Chain A
Amino acid sequence: MSQTTSADAPARTRRPSGGLDIPKLLLEGRAFIALIVIIVIFSFLSPNYFTVNNLLTMSAHVAVYAILAIGMLLVILNGGIDLSVGSTVGLSGVIAGFLMQGVKLPGMEVTLYPAVWVCAVCALAVGAFVGWVNGMLVAKAGVAPFVATLGTLYVVRGAALLITGGLTYPNLRGDPALGNTGFDLLGFNRILGIPTGVMVMIVIALLGSFLLNRTAFGRWLYASGGNQRAAELSGIPVKKVQIRIYVASGTCAAIAGVIIASELTSANPTAGNSFELTAIAAVVIGGAALSGGRGNIRGTLLGAFVIGFLSDGLVIIGVSEYWQMVFKGAVIVIAVMLNRIEVRSKRIKNAGAPSAPPPGQAGAGPGSSGTPPAVNTAKP
């Protein structure tokens, strides 16, 4: 046995848990540093930035990104990508809105007004279905994830527009007389002063952490993203894993869609446009590798906060929309570069490190070994 160092130990000997630990975050979480820098800068630039109320408002925006990004993380851990989530946000909102407006039963004079929870569940079911289609395309039909989900991106957006005829369903507050009030509770309202979306985000993040760190499914996901052939030969149902993560991603997108519709108390078929890119950005800022097998919930959450706090900050200090885009793009690249530097220096110091970061910790380099990539290690 070779001995372990003590020098590297603090940064690396860590349990693969999703728990918070400030020194560890400072040491490894470059995204965390980026977040602090953003908060400090905007607090200087605008007195309204660092106030409880604004932080809560911004968190509500972050929540939507974060929920999408957590779903995206699962897919990216598998080495896939889900471009359809933005469209699913739109479609699920529309489904909820459509049901809230009341459904005329064909041939009868009655209009049904489903309860709010029924509307929400139907919207989620549609999101899950879109995910399932993605999963089947990728796992069973062997379509590349990028292509499959690019296809559903268009189809789903088209469906949303078709349902509403391009219009927005306004005023989804419901009517006490019809017994379908309460839709605004899902996003517009606050519970104990905290936006519902933030609560949902916390629940999903905890569930996600649990899933990734403590369950067999989490391990299957990391393994099949790292090396699908090896995972398969170890008895891991790689196809099933693939289908389930797309379903999870679609469901997360639908949750975000319902929250957005509730926040606005209206359902716009174009809601969520280009959100898939924001979600991907959050995941990569959080240190995940697009090649699969590396990434974790904590990093992804941080990534979502970086993007959300930055966008809102730019709005608050009144930067023009065009400059906002430039800044956002620059921050994404810089944040990921910081991650890369970290990985590289780790690799130079020690391509493997005694007690190196377990999968799921920050580190985006494919293959952390110093040896050249071996033949065929890639997923088919």
Chain B
Amino acid sequence: MNEVVLRAQNVTKRYGGTQALKGVDFEVLKGRVTSLFGENGAGKSTLMKILSGIEQPTSGSLELRGEPVEFADTVEARDRGISIIHQELSLSPNLSVRDNIFMGREITGKAGMVDYAAERRIAKELMERLEEPIDPDTKVSDLRLGQQQIVEIARALSVDARILIMDEPTSALSASEVEVLFKVIRDLTAAGVSIVYISHHLEEAIEISDHAVVLRDGLIVAQAEIADVDLDWIVGNMVGRGFDLGSPPSPEHFGEVALRIDQAMVADPANPERLSVNGVSIDVRAGEVVCIYGLMGAGRTELLEALAGRVPLVGGSFTVLGQDISGLNISERIALGLGLVPEDRQRDGLVQTMSVGRNLSLASLGTFLKGLVLSRQEEKDLIQKMIKDVRVKTAGPNAAIGSLSGGNQQKVVIGKMLATNPKVILLDEPSRGIDIGAKSEVFGLLSELAEQGLAVLYSTSEVGECLSIANRVIVLSKGRISAEFDAATTTKEQIMAASGESAVAA
């Protein structure tokens, strides 16, 4: 049963001064799902990149079905039956879904011409298998983040790999979509495909895995059959301590209404005829934490982007601290104390050509401007403070942003907005890709800041995150509010039912 198909032996990986892997022995078992757990920056993605040929190990060796192998690149690994779903999406936004799925492996017919019909048919089948009705001819840039992730999954599936590596495949998916993916995974393993699965949604990972491996600081610290482990075991091994998502701020300290959303209407960017937010009204008071729960396409991102000033309102109004903000641009809204932590950190959050420090200070340059000149000392102090406050794991403020693990990049985006000293903070899926420790730190931080009078409005597609630090949960469905709950008295099942999905995925 436990036949090893791919084995990494004593693999190490150095990135300059960072030892990402310090001698790892890792086995992929035939027809089984091996879950890799670990904090942000533990080295999970690095190990997966080595297994799939994206990176070469500094030392150590790989063995595929007993034979030593070396992969010069992903193409070689793919030819040997190894396929990967990247943590950071790697699609070409300017191409269609079909072209992305077959990129580099176009189906060619007579005279070397691409057989688009065949490609489209297969793409369509894949989409049906993933139960996501996306037309293969849609341009990827027109898709929502979650849909893009599904395309990424479809591409990996289309390879017919024997070993499929999934590095956080579900970070932008809703519970029901995760269920579909799990069904697909079970079919694959039944057919003998081996899966490596990485997710910071621990319950979800436990549900699908057969075998758990925990990585900490580049070393494997524990592994066990899934039957023998529980959440505490994983978390204990991952971070060496317990965790807690924090508790909601107490209503005694609530102040005035800081943010008022009144009958907001936002057009669907893909189809301006349609409204993706249709008459939503929410009040958030100073010191209050409100969670918006909804499935993909419920209108959460559109609502938050309209609040931030990126897309216009077609009806209704926004009021922040008593001031109507409809006439203000993004920077004026930030100056007023309204900041958005966007959902897609690569596209909207980070400047890849800038260092960690400069990304952190980017939205608050005005606060350390002395006349014309940016004060270096004040900037440095601010950056140091933010690195500490949001606990970014980095070699230093001058490190390139791309050298950070995914979760730490996310913390930089959050830190950037917190550095502006907001009165109202909007967070679109703030926990996307961050580990349980970081999650509890981020939510803990938010609830702490709320105690000091910050109004917090965040969206999530993980029910557990609604109930931890929120005072109120608002369920959005098809652009409208379908229910509102007091977080203290409601249950996961109620919330999911209101959002229009079945409670199986809980």
**A residues touching B (Cβ–Cβ < 8 Å)?**
1-5, 7-8, 12-13, 214-216, 219-220, 222-223, 225-227, 229-237, 289, 292-294, 349-356, 358-359, 366-378
Contacts and interface: CB of A to CB of B under 8 A. Distances in A.
Contact of A1 (B330, B350, B394, B403): B394
B365 A233 contact: no
Contacts of B372: 214-215
B362 A234 contact: yes
B480 interface: no
Contact of B354 (A216, A223, A235, A369): A223
A66 B353 CA distance: 25
Contacts of A230: 347-351, 362
Given A293-B351, A353-B399, A355-B398, A231 B373 contact: no
B346 A377 contact: yes
Given A353-B403, A368-B402, A3 B353 contact: no
Contacts of A293: 351-354
Contacts of A368: 352-353, 400, 402
B247 interface: no
Interface in B267-323: 308, 310
B202 interface: no
A331 to B, nearest CB: 26
B466 to A, nearest CB: 25
A284 to B, nearest CB: 16
B394 A235 contact: no
Given A215-B373, A232-B330, A235-B363, A378 B402 contact: no
Interface centre among A7, A215, A225 (most CB of B within 10 A): A215
Interface size class of chain B, counting residues whose CB lies under 8 Å from the partner chain: 35 or more
Interface of B: 14-19, 41, 45, 49, 54-55, 86-93, 140-141, 148, 308, 310, 329-331, 333-335, 340, 342, 344, 346-355, 358, 362-363, 365-366, 369, 372-374, 393-396, 398-404, 416, 420
Given A2-B19, A3-B17, A372 B352 contact: no
A67 B334 CA distance: 36
Nearest to A377: B346
Contacts of B310: 232-233
A375 B89 contact: yes
Contacts of A367: 352-353, 402
Contact of B402 (A222, A234, A370): A370
A66 B45 CA distance: 44
A351 B351 contact: no
Contacts of B88: 371-372, 374
25 contacts: A2-B394, A2-B395, A3-B17, A3-B395, A4-B17, A222-B354, A222-B358, A227-B352, A229-B347, A232-B310, A233-B349, A235-B334, A289-B353, A353-B17, A353-B399, A355-B399, A369-B402, A370-B402, A371-B86, A372-B90, A375-B89, A375-B141, A375-B347, A376-B346, A378-B93
Contacts of A5: 16-17
A359 B355 contact: yes
Contacts of B49: 370-371
A353 B400 contact: yes
B16 A373 contact: no
Given A2-B17, A233-B349, A371 B402 contact: yes
Contacts of A353: 15-17, 395, 399-400, 403
Given A12-B398, A293-B354, A358-B398, 13 more contacts: A3-B17, A4-B396, A214-B372, A215-B374, A219-B374, A222-B354, A231-B362, A353-B16, A353-B403, A359-B354, A369-B401, A372-B54, A375-B93
A361 to B, nearest CB: 10
Interface centre among B45, B399, B420 (most CB of A within 10 A): B399
B402 A351 contact: yes
A223 B359 CA distance: 8
Nearest to B331: A235
